Amino acid sequence: MTLKKTILASVIGAAFAGATLMPLAASAETLRIGYSADFETLDLHEQLSGGVLRFSHMTFDPLVRWTKDFEFEPRLATEWEQTDDTHTRFTLREGVTFHSGNEFTAKDVVWTIERLKESPDYRAIFEPIESVEAVDDYTVEITTAEPYPLLLNLATYIFPMDSEFYTGETEDGNAKDEIVKAGNTFASRNASGTGPFKVTNRRQGVRVDMERFEDYWDTESPGNVSEIVLTPIAENASRVAALLSGSVDFIDAVPPNDLDRVRDAQGANLVEVPGTRIIGFQLNEETVEAFQDERVRQAVDLAINQEGIADRLMRGFATPAAQFSPEGYAGHNPELTPRYDLERAQALMAEAGFEEGFSVDMIAPNNRYVNDAQIAQAVANMLSRINITVNLRTMPLAQYWPEYDERASDIAMIGWHSDTEDTANFFQYLTFCIDEESGAGQYNYGSYCNEEIDALVTEADSEVDLERRAEMLQQAEAMLYEDAGFVMLHWQNLAYGAADGIDIEPVVNAIDFPYLGDLVIER
């Protein structure tokens, strides 16, 4: 009997204690997220994708990160200094611990950069870094082969990993640090970073649970999210419905058709951010001889009403573009604006001897970019006004890339986001003369080639005077505009939806990696 009473008393006592503790627990906030896609893996270096980078910013911290205005904000690196043309020293933050309890030091940075150089997805981007060395526990020195102006851009990709945690062998004898795509590796299932959240439970494609790391170094961060439940909801309509019905607090990628619905909804808010992904078309000069003529390319560009597409088709959810670089990028040239002029386009076609026009094939994906198939259809209609008859085929992404790689169609749609958040990257992949050896022009569908532009961009890429470099890149944009080497449409905007009281605006940015560690919830 006494035993029973004791149990009873302790149960009541526990319940009472629980009840009194409640007000304290109430300041802890749970954020329920509905993202359009799950991150593919927990291994930061297995795949360079938006999803994995979003995860990186939740569970890890980069050396530096982008602010909303494309400035660098110190994170795990507190200071940096270029000692000569090819050497840069980073001073690291002290007193930072990993989720595993290990202390963060220079050796972790060295280990991480060396692993990045082994990663198939990052190898090409980290090519300019020749070596990295720990000078002392809180200083690293990075050596580049050539003078390289974008080292800080690369540093936004360096999320130091817990070298001790990832060293050794698993029970089945595999190295813990191995990078295997689609492999069931240790690093793809376990993570130890320095970031604000640690993963407590994950069912891939279904749900991820995270909780705030109690020893997080950034005690000045106003963020008060203590728990995150992330559910991937791929279907646009369902994701919006989940927000509007209050089942989730925060969603990404609100589709253009639902912008007004979310904006006007009670209890939910819409936050729009101009994006950095350029959407455009490439004209195949190999299959259509006419596209080798600068006048025909210009006519195509002039015939397309970028502002009309951004206004009507995208419902204002895009910024009309006449160059690769969005505002904030070094190469953004404010003088270049869309130049829709149908009469001039027709005149140019006549001048080039194509008054009668011709007919071409066009391919576009139908599930990759916002409204991609409809945009392609609109462009096809616009081209018919300069007598170019377009035979459009749209297809899902999985089939689109093999088709794109074949370069058999005459016009192809592409969207591109610069991995380095820098202008040169657009040129190097999309318009450089194709060189299979160096990999230049890997996505130059149309085999467009202008050696002057290439030379200018290449020169800019080893120019360490950033102002001078920006001028060169802006000039390159102007030359490409003149030559109509790439048909620009718009930069796709980003739209997030958040429930009332979730102040998402300060933590979202143009690169689409919300800094959720700093998110403040006031309900």
Partner 1 sequence: MIAFLIKRLMHAVLVMFVISLLAFAIQDNLGDPVAQMVGQSVPESERQALRERLGLTDPFLVQYARFAKNAVQGDFGNSYFYGEPALEVIGRHLPATLELVFAATLIIVLFSVPIGVYSAIKPRSLISRFFMSASIIGISIPVFLTAIVLIQIFSIGITVSIFPDATGWGSWLNGLLSTSGNMPSFGRGYDLVHVFGSWDTNLATLSGLQHLVLPAVSLASIMLPLFVRLIRAEMMEVMQSEYVKYARAKGISMRRVYFVHALKNTMLPVITVGGVQIGTMVAYTILTETVFQWPGMGLMFLDAINRADIPLIVSYLMIVGVIFVVTNTVVDLIYGLVNPTVKLTGKPA
Where does this chain bind partner 1 (CB under 8 A)?
34, 40-41, 47-49, 120-125, 181-185, 188, 203-207, 229, 231-235, 237-238, 241-242, 244-248, 367, 396-402, 416-417, 419, 425, 429, 436, 439, 442-443
Pick the closer one to partner 1 by CB: 404 or 481: 404
Comparison of 155 and 179: residue with beta carbon closer to partner 1: 179
**Min CB(33)–partner 1 separation in Å:** 12
Tell me if residue 493 falls in helix, strand or coil. Answer: strand
**Can you state the percent helix, strand and coil of the chain, rounding each to 5?**
35, 25, 45
Of the two residues 131 and 245, which places its CB atom closer to partner 1 in the complex? 245
- Which long-range contacts link 430-437 to residues 24+ away (Cβ below 8 Å)? 430/282, 430/324, 430/486, 431/480, 431/485, 431/486, 432/457
Taking the least distance from each CB to partner 1, the nearer of 68 and 261 is 261
State the minimum distance, in angstroms, from the CB of residue 190 to partner 1: 13
CA–CA dist 336, 323 (Å, integer): 7
Which residue has tokens 């006004």? 385
Using CA atoms, how far apart are residues 92 and 141, in angstroms rounded to an integer? 11
Q: Which is nearer to partner 1, 123 or 468 (CB)?
A: 123
Residue 497 CA: distances (Å) to CA of 428, 474, 505: 35, 35, 10
Reduced to 3 states (helix: H, G, I; strand: E, B; else coil), residue 28 is coil
If phi > 0 it is left, if psi is from -120 to 50 it is alpha, else beta; for residue 95 that is left
To partner 1, the closest distance from the beta carbon of 438 in angstroms equals 9
CB 402 within 8 A of CB 442: no
Q: Could you give the CA distance from residue 411 to residue 487 in angstroms, rounded to a whole number?
A: 10
Our CB check for partner 1 shows the closer of 242 and 318 to be 242
Instruction: Compute the least distance from the CB of residue 67 to partner 1, in Å.
Output: 24
**Smallest distance, Å, CB 405 to partner 1?**
8
Task: For 498, list phi and psi in degrees, rounded to 5.
Answer: -140, 150
Cross-strand bridge partners of residue 364: 394
> Distance (Å, rounded) from C-alpha 309 to C-alpha 302?
14
CA terminus-to-terminus distance, the chain: 47
Minimum separation from the CB atom of position 496 to partner 1 (A): 18
Compare residues 163 and 425 and give the one whose CB is closer to partner 1: 425
Closest approach of partner 1 to the CB of residue 254, in Å: 15
**Minimum distance from residue 324 beta carbon to partner 1 (Å):** 14
For the bound state, the minimum distance from the C-beta of residue 204 to partner 1, rounded and expressed in Å, comes to 5
Q: What minimum distance in Å lies between the beta carbon of 322 and partner 1?
A: 23
Name the strand (E) or helix (H) holding 480: helix 466-483
- With beta carbons less than 8 A apart as the criterion, state whether 140 and 83 touch: no
Of 181 and 315, the one with the shorter C-beta distance to partner 1 is 181
Write the single-letter amino acid at 130.
Answer: E
Minimum distance of partner 1 from residue 172's CB (angstroms): 14
3-state class of 133 per DSSP? strand
Shorter beta-carbon distance to partner 1: residue 29 or 293: 29
Dihedral angle computed from the Cα positions of residues 353, 357, 359 and 363, in that order, rounded to the nearest 10 degrees: 90
Task: Name the residue among 355, 401, 350, 390 with its Cα closest to residue 487.
Answer: 390
* Smaller CB separation from partner 1, 277 or 295: 277
Q: Judged by CB, which is closer to partner 1: 316, or 396?
A: 396
